[in-house]
Chains A and B, each alone.
Chain A
Amino acid sequence: MLQRIRKAQLLMDAACEIAGRPINIMEVCGTHTVSIFRNGIRGTLPKTIKLLSGPGCPVCVTHQGYIDTVLELADRDDCLIATYGDMIRVPGKYGSLETKKSAGNVKMVTSSEDALQLARDNPGKTVVFVAVGFETTAPATAVAVKQAAKEGIDNFCILSNHKLVVPAMQALLSDKNNRIDAFLCPGHVSVIIGYGAFRKIVEQYHKPCVVAGFEPMQIIEGLAEICRQIIEGKPEAKTIYTAVVTEQGNLTAQNIIAECFEPVDGYWRGLGIIPKSTLILKDKFSKFDALKRFGITEKPEEDTTGCRCGEVLCGLIDPPQCKLFGQTCEPQNPVGPCMVSSEGACAAWFKYNRRKKRS
């Protein structure tokens, strides 16, 4: 293993020498972020390789307006909110789902299937499923919606904030202030979408896009593959996580997404509105759309805390550069979503790297 690490380091050194400057690589997956910190991977890299944590945590990219809309629905007597555990502590303008939980109308679920079962078990309430996540969870939501339609479960609906990874990566690169040289692409999102989905980024922006798994050697060798591409001047979309990631991905899951959802322009925390980046239900399933069901619109974006999660998500600053970091914002008492989620960049920095301030 030491030999493989040494070989990777040599490739990284060579790439930085050719570039004549440090190389910035963004990891677009919260699980990569945690694995990088947990395994001390930054310590094994040359100082000239800088890792940026990108918008790869669905909790972190969910905007405040969405959270406030969920909280509004949680206040209704006729609603039951079904949410993945990740979302429960994200602060909105007035509290979080955790603070509403005591009233009994917020339930944690581990799958969309559980949310649908809640609807079957509670015919007197409308179950609203907090449908967040990237292409890994979107097909699961779609299956629940199709099942609800098939069984005629009318007291089930979803508040969709499913996000697409590729449009966000394109948005980051189209910002002229971005400092991204390459992407370490998410492992399990790529199981669904296939590594071929990143080819359009390579063609448009000429940046390497390499999919890696989550164990330390996968991450180090993924970074080395990026450096090899930089040295050769030939950026590619590629996977080194060949055990589960194919070029095409899981076509059955992709088809189910396409059958139920369509991409629209959507708001991302920190990145603003990104074209065709958010999935909403197609017209034929519109009765399962919570916004339409209740005749409401999403709450406006309001954040006056001074939280800089948005800039963290864009790779523009590291978490310690936010003045709230470790002061008023800590995992026990988070201000921003990147501190709430165990896979948020701020929480990872706080847990593993608090003493090191980097510019």
Chain B
Amino acid sequence: MCLAIPARIVKLEDDRAIVDAMGNQFHARTTFLPNVKLGDLVLVHAGFAISMIDENEARKTWQLIEEIDQFNDTQNKVSG
């Protein structure tokens, strides 16, 4: 529910980004992280990047998401 997903910024225009999480690409806004740049890893929640995150931590969360096996559901269930 309040689980944010780590994703890498693969395209960035102003505060509008396309991000990649475990091969899934989707839109995200970077409004709350004014200093992000292309290639950065961020935590995305309900369509917004809320924090920077490092590679190691991102990997751990991706693993957790795979384990919880709700990644597909998560895309439609993000309120929190």
A interface residues (Cβ-Cβ under 8 A, vs B)? 29-31, 34-35, 38, 56-59, 84-87, 108, 110-114, 132-134, 136-137, 139-140, 143, 186-189, 191-192, 213-215, 243-244, 250, 252-253, 256, 341-343
Contacts and interface: CB of A to CB of B under 8 A. Distances in A.
A189 B52 CA distance: 15
A132 B79 contact: yes
A113 B45 contact: no
Contacts of A30: 1-2, 80
A132 B1 CA distance: 11
Contacts of B3: 31, 188, 214
The 3 closest A-B pairs by CB, nearest first: A111-B47, A84-B79, A85-B76
Interface string B29-43: 101111000000001
B53 A243 contact: yes
A123 to B, nearest CB: 22
A38 B70 CA distance: 12
Given A84-B79, A86-B1, A113-B27, A215 B64 contact: yes
A252 B27 CA distance: 20
B57 to A, nearest CB: 4
With most chain B CB atoms within 10 A of its CB, the pick from A86, A136, A213 is A136
A213 B64 CA distance: 11
Nearest to B56: A243
A245 to B, nearest CB: 8
Contacts of A140: 29, 45-48
Contacts of A56: 2
Given A112-B47, A136-B2, A341-B1, 7 more contacts: A29-B1, A56-B2, A113-B27, A114-B47, A191-B50, A213-B61, A214-B64
A252 B31 contact: yes
Interface residues of B, number: 36
B40 to A, nearest CB: 13
A108 B47 contact: no
B62 to A, nearest CB: 11
A136 B45 contact: yes
A335 B68 CA distance: 25
Nearest to A242: B57
B79 A143 contact: no
Contacts of A59: 1, 79
Given A84-B77, A252-B31, A110 B45 contact: no
Contacts of B4: 136, 188, 191
Contacts of A84: 46, 76-79
A244 B31 contact: no
B79 to A, nearest CB: 4
B78 A110 contact: yes
A118 to B, nearest CB: 14
B2 A252 contact: no
B33 A244 contact: no
Nearest to A130: B79
B73 interface: yes
B42 to A, nearest CB: 10
A54 B13 CA distance: 40
B75 interface: yes
B69 to A, nearest CB: 9
B32 A256 contact: yes
26 contacts: A30-B2, A31-B2, A31-B3, A31-B80, A84-B79, A85-B77, A86-B78, A86-B79, A111-B46, A113-B27, A133-B2, A133-B46, A140-B29, A186-B2, A189-B2, A213-B61, A214-B3, A244-B43, A244-B51, A244-B52, A250-B33, A250-B50, A253-B50, A341-B1, A342-B70, A342-B73
Given A84-B78, A244-B51, A113 B2 contact: no
Contacts of B26: 110
B80 A137 contact: yes
A107 B16 CA distance: 23
A256 B73 CA distance: 28
A243 B61 CA distance: 11
B32 A250 contact: yes
